[in-house]
């Protein structure tokens, strides 16, 4: 059995709704309110249509500098290192990133990875924005990036400032695979 909640509406609003009900389009106030809520949800969804593409679990976008971006439900962008780059770098032993609250620019460095061979790999931001979170686990256990780059191995979360435009600069998985094939086992051309 459903629990019902009583909602108080202003008298003016009720009068307007009653006028609409007289047109015969709706049979009750609750039907009107339900449709209004549905339309508002659709409106919000459409206004964020450029994000909806990325809200699917599998959708990850890439940079040519081997970082990936995935938008979470709050609209923040999780950022990590691609599996391809992780395999090329082998064992990652240290991660350094910009601090929480720091602004980063798309295609600009936000951190450095160090490998067992003392190779330093610069991490480039896929999006401009403010760093909202740094993955503590990756700081404590950097090798997680090699083991699980797309789940527990994410590096930072960025609150994007220009997502709608900057998303156009990223590669989808097919474009990234094509780019990687051109590299023939290297990290850069």
How confident is the model at residue 4, as a pLDDT?
63
Read off the tokens for 61. 């976008």
Q: What percent of the chain has pLDDT over 90?
A: 59
CB 86 within 8 Å of CB 145: yes
CATH of domain 56-183: 2.40.50.100
Q: How far is CA 107 from CA 65, 125, 167, in A?
A: 8, 5, 12
Q: What confidence tens digit (pLDDT) does each residue in 141-184 have?
A: 999 999 999 999 999 999 999 998 999 999 999 899 999 999 88
For the chain, give every domain's residue range: 11-47, 56-183
Q: Alpha-carbon distance 137 to 155, whole Å?
A: 9
Read off the tokens for 6. 């009583």
pLDDT at 188 over 60: yes
- The alpha carbon torsion through 143, 144, 148, 149 (nearest 10 deg) reads -80
What is this structure's pTM?
0.70
């Amino acid at each position: 059995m459903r629990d019902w909640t009583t909602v108080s509406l202003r008298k003016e609003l009720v009068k307007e709704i009653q006028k609409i009900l007289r047109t015969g389009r709706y049979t009750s106030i609750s039907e009107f309110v339900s449709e209004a809520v549905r339309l508002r949800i659709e409106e919000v969804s459409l206004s964020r249509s450029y994000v909806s593409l990325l809200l699917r679990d599998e959708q990850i976008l890439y940079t040519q500098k081997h970082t990936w971006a995935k938008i979470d439900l709050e609209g923040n962008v999780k950022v990590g290192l691609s599996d391809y780059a992780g395999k090329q770098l082998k064992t990652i032993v240290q991660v350094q990133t910009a601090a929480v609250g720091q602004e980063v620019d798309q295609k600009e460095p936000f951190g450095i990875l160090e490998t067992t061979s003392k190779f330093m790999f610069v991490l480039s931001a896929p999006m401009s924005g403010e760093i909202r979170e740094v993955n503590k686990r990756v700081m404590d256990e950097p090798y997680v990036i090699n083991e699980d780059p797309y789940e527990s191995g994410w590096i930072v979360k960025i609150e994007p400032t220009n997502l709608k435009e900057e998303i156009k600069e990223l590669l989808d998985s097919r474009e990234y695979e094509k780019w990687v094939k051109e590299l023939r086992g290297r990290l850069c051309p």
